[in-house]
Amino acid sequence: MPNYYVFLGPPGAGKGTQAKIVADTLQLSHVSSGDIFRANLSNQTELGKLAQGYMNRGELVPDDLTISMIRDRLQKPDCGKGAILDGFPRTPAQAEALDIMLRENAGEVVFVPLISVPNNLILERMTGRWSCRAAGHVYHSKYNPPKQAGVCDLDGSELYQREDDKLETVQKRLDVYEKQTAPLIAYYSAQGKLVEIDGSLEITQVTASLLQALAGK
């Protein structure tokens, strides 16, 4: 049965960083809703144009657009054996839609690590985040700097600071997380799938906790 893992946590907790490492280690696909939206934005697709305003304001893109985008992505062959989902679901309606779409292919969400980080660390992480244009690889000016400033170690593309990582927008995104996404903690907890992971530790230590928790699933 294909197994899917949902990485939950506030913006800036390290979901993307960890999802990439764990997906590479376990040879699973990594599906990041934020990366897919940003690729659509830079290619100025219809979806990108529809999503842009919401993203720049730090609001969630409406559920119908987001769910159909993820449905398309999960139907690609590389997701048939399972995947790590990062940034999706973010609302109870998205979580319910995910359960239904996975069930159609006899799959299910088996494990939901909640990466917890206090708000003061989150602000520092997001304001120091640099992302690569080509593939969304993520760095931090202090905690995970690239070898050469402004250049991605992995693909040589330009690093940039996200428009929505400005202090005012970060605050808005944290509010949105509390109101719209935090209810998923109870949703997955009630199903016995949630495990809290201390995301305030160093990157390698968080990876070790995640791999250990996943090994027991």
Peptide bond into 89 cis (omega under 30): yes
Q: Which two tokens stand for residue 177?
A: 């997380």
Beta carbon nearer to ligand ADP, 60 or 111: 60
| CB of 176 vs ligand ADP, minimal distance in Å | 7
Beta carbon nearer to ligand ADP, 1 or 183: 183
| CB of 139 vs ligand ADP, minimal distance in Å | 5
Please tell me the distance from the alpha carbon of residue 46 to that of residue 123, in angstroms, as a whole number.
Answer: 31
Nearest to 136 by CA among 160, 112, 116: 160
Beta carbon nearer to ligand ADP, 1 or 165: 165
Beta carbon nearer to ligand ADP, 93 or 110: 93
Q: Which two tokens stand for residue 54?
A: 């919401």
The residues carrying an active-site annotation are: 15, 90, 129, 162, 173
Please tell me the distance from the alpha carbon of residue 100 to that of residue 111, in angstroms, as a whole number.
Answer: 16
| CB of 113 vs ligand ADP, minimal distance in Å | 12
| CB of 90 vs ligand ADP, minimal distance in Å | 4
Catalog residues that contact ligand ADP under the rule CB under 6 A: 9, 11-17, 33-34, 37, 54-55, 58-61, 66, 87-88, 90, 94, 125, 128-129, 138-140, 143-144, 164, 173, 202-203, 206
SS3 assignment, position 166: coil
Bridge partners of residue 151, in order along the sequence: 158
**Cβ–Cβ contacts within 10 Å for residue 92, how many?**
15
Please tell me the distance from the alpha carbon of residue 123 to that of residue 98, in angstroms, as a whole number.
Answer: 30
Beta carbon nearer to ligand ADP, 16 or 113: 16
Task: Tell me the CA distances in angstroms from 1 to 5, 72, 104, 105, one per residue in order.
Answer: 13, 20, 12, 9
| CB of 212 vs ligand ADP, minimal distance in Å | 16
For the packed helices 46-57 and 33-42, what is the interaxial angle rounded to 10 degrees? 120
